[in-house]
Chain A
Amino acid sequence: MSSIEVIDERCVGCELCIKACLYDAIEMRDGIAVIKDNCTLCGACVDACKFDAIILRTEHREVDAGDGEHRGVWIIAEQRGGELHGVSYELLGKGRELADELGVPLSAVLLGSGVEPLARNLVERGADVVHVVDDPALEHYADEPYSNAIADLVEKGHPEIVLTGATSIGRSLIPRVAVQIRTGLTADCTGLAIDDDERCLLQTRPAFGGNIMATIVCPNHRPQMATVRHKVMTSLEPEPGRVGRIVLETIEPGRLESRTEFVEFVKDLTQTVNIADADVIVSGGRGLGGPERFSMIEDLAGAVGGAVGASRAAVDAGWIPYSHQVGQTGKTVQPRLYIACGISGAVQHLAGMQSSKTIVAINKDADAPIFKHATYGIVGDLFEIVPALTKRLKAELS
């Protein structure tokens, strides 16, 4: 069993460890740090201590990984109704980079019914191999058959890395795969890199509502699995005529059985907005004061050809539907231009938009945290500035 302890003689009582602890699991007793029951063994204090006074002992098991048997980078492509989800190309973009560094091929997995033609697109975007399972049982997404199929392919092909899109489907599907093949999975990675010494994948992701970043590894299990959100990585330009191998795989029919059954899809017009794809987003927050004021945001969005976003405060207040919410519990967006109006910039909101290329903030509170993250900021009255901005932009862009 792993354990953590404080070397009393080395502890000087500086309390740096307490500051680093995310779980409030360290307290000072008689000037020495004491680790409490609720410690999660994350090791943040070990890093923070300048006096090497905290030791984290972990039990290393024999590595059955990096053993030369697991090779290759795989990405799980996502399709719905015969259309590939953009994240698939982004995974290929990053996957290509990782595969090149490791000196291994990049493969894609494609599941569905009548989807074989899509394999070409994946090759054009960087895949060396596409494993296709084309079966009527896979016509509509279902967790069991999809996860079983991928698990079987992975057992057969033993890649060292598997990347999946962190979409509604991906996040439901891939944990089931990871558990089946008994390996580690890291969600919502914003950074993926190779540690050459260990030949392992360094997976970096936000945690604590985006308040901190964590780098995670999966040292003793293969493949190393990670999910990545849409619009975080970059896809490669399509290369028509690029050469790649398309393999039609078969899965044992028993594995494609499902205890859930797709009945029908209901299109919900109130949720047709997918702001995650927009290049320009204009968002409104608590500072708007009411639902009617969103028309001002809509006007500005219209003027710049952008989508309307919202902070959690505005959505919770019922001023605009949840599908417009940007943030930790809403959508992650990465537009070229993000204009935040009347949004204070709470960390949860920032978590959803801080990767935007250019951020503009307009708020009457000069101390609003969003200004620390904005490329351009204006402190002032929304109701004066936004309409004026709209008018001028309309004139300039027409």
Chain B
Amino acid sequence: MRDSGVAMKIVVLIKQVPDTTEVRIDPETNTLIREGVPSIINPFDTYAIEEALRLRERAGEGEVVVMSMGPPQVETALREALALGVDSAFLLTDRAFAGADTWATSMTLAAGIRKLGDVDVVLCGKQAIDGDTAQVGPGVACLLDIPQVAYVRKIDVDGGEALAERMMDDGYDIVRAKLPCLFTVVKEINEPRLPSLKGKMKARKAEITMWGAADLDVDPAQIGLDGSPTRVIRIFSPEQRSAGEMLEGEPDETVPALVSRILPVLKGEA
């Protein structure tokens, strides 16, 4: 635990993902069309970056670090974060990290955060839009042996504590957490800023620290594909529903036709 007199250090974990909203299925081959799909910062992570910047602004001081695990091209995502006002960026990159499932990813990121040291707050987006697991945040928290609050829509930090609002289905819990703590955030938390010109210029020249497996204090058997307890054994296209029935004609024909078909469903007979 750090003295409250020392400025806060916030780490934001981000992931570069393909923009799955742009991904299309080739109707003939039923495979993904990957060309021209841009790589973006995972949208939920942009909210995490914004919250980190706001925490720093509200405190009047503090350091915001962004960290990611991935191949060298993830550098572009880190520079985007730097352009928003993040202070420094770290890329955990090594062939040995490839193929990691959420366990091995959590292992690697936790090792990266440990090497940074003196971290007060860890922020993540609630889930990545390619994996959709929402597992890495809590996994990292557990490995760092720090508490966590997930699905947070508001964070207030005061001294060595934070007050967070955790979203539930029908409202929200107010939770008090001792720092250091990890939070995963939802879109309701803020409205991310756009980069500034000055920020982009600075980011272009900024230095990004790269750490490989040798730089981290991590068991080589617990990273990458070899360190992944889960393994993908098959990938296939989702089952296409067999073609449905198109109702043709003017509304005075199609509406009755539709009604006669869905009435049994509504009445629970179908």
Contact = CB atoms under 8 A, between A and B. Distances in A.
Interface in A26-81: 37-44, 47, 58-59, 61, 80
11 contacts: A58-B226, A140-B173, A179-B143, A216-B232, A217-B230, A280-B266, A347-B20, A358-B262, A374-B244, A377-B245, A389-B255
Contacts of A176: 138-139, 141-142, 148
Given A212-B236, A396-B259, A359 B229 contact: no
Contacts of B254: 378, 380, 385
Contact of B134 (A21, A39, A187): A187
B135 A216 contact: no
A140 B149 CA distance: 13
Contacts of B188: 322
Contact of A47 (B141, B165, B234, B241): B234
Given A144-B147, A208-B23, A337 B266 contact: yes
Interface string A281-315: 00000000000000000000000100000000000
Contact of A274 (B133, B169, B244): B169
Nearest to A397: B266
Contacts of A221: 229
B230 A185 contact: yes
A37 B93 CA distance: 10
Interface in B152-170: 163, 165-170
Interface in B118-143: 129-139, 141-143
Contacts of A144: 147
Interface stretch (B100-108, B192-200, B201-209): B100-108
Contacts of A168: 150-151, 166-169
A21 B35 CA distance: 10
Contact of A40 (B25, B31, B98, B244): B98
Contacts of A348: 20-21
A1 B224 CA distance: 8
Interface stretch (B60-68, B78-86, B174-182): B174-182
B237 A213 contact: yes
A180 B144 CA distance: 11
Contact of B238 (A210, A220, A385): A210
B171 A178 contact: no
B212 interface: no
A271 to B, nearest CB: 6
Contacts of B187: 322, 329
Interface residue tally on A, bucketed by range? 35 or more
Contact of B262 (A21, A40, A173, A337): A337
Contacts of B245: 375-377
Nearest to B21: A348
A168 B171 CA distance: 12
> Chain A binding site: helix, strand, loop or mixed by DSSP?
mixed
Contact of B259 (A24, A346, A389): A389
B246 A260 contact: no
B251 A185 contact: no
Interface of A: 1-2, 19-24, 37-44, 47, 58-59, 61, 80, 140-144, 147, 167-169, 171-173, 175-176, 178-180, 182-188, 202-203, 206-221, 258-268, 271-272, 274, 276, 280, 304, 322, 328-329, 336-337, 346-348, 354, 357-360, 371-381, 384-385, 388-389, 392-393, 396-397
Contacts of B165: 266
A143 B170 contact: no
A295 B188 CA distance: 24
B214 interface: no
B177 A260 contact: yes
A276 to B, nearest CB: 8
Given A217-B230, A265-B171, A328 B129 contact: yes
B230 A171 contact: no
Given A209-B21, A209-B23, A378-B247, A265 B178 contact: no
B147 A258 contact: yes
B32 interface: yes
A47 B168 CA distance: 41
Nearest to B187: A322
A217 B101 CA distance: 11
A346 B226 CA distance: 36
A176 B37 CA distance: 33
Contacts of B6: none
Contact of A388 (B29, B32, B147, B251): B251
Contacts of B184: 172
Nearest to A305: B266
A274 B226 CA distance: 41
Contacts of B230: 184-186, 203, 216-218
Interface string B29-50: 1011011010000000000000
Interface string B1-43: 0000000000000000010110111100101101101000000
Nearest to A388: B255
A169 B25 CA distance: 33
A80 B25 CA distance: 41
B189 interface: no
B263 interface: yes
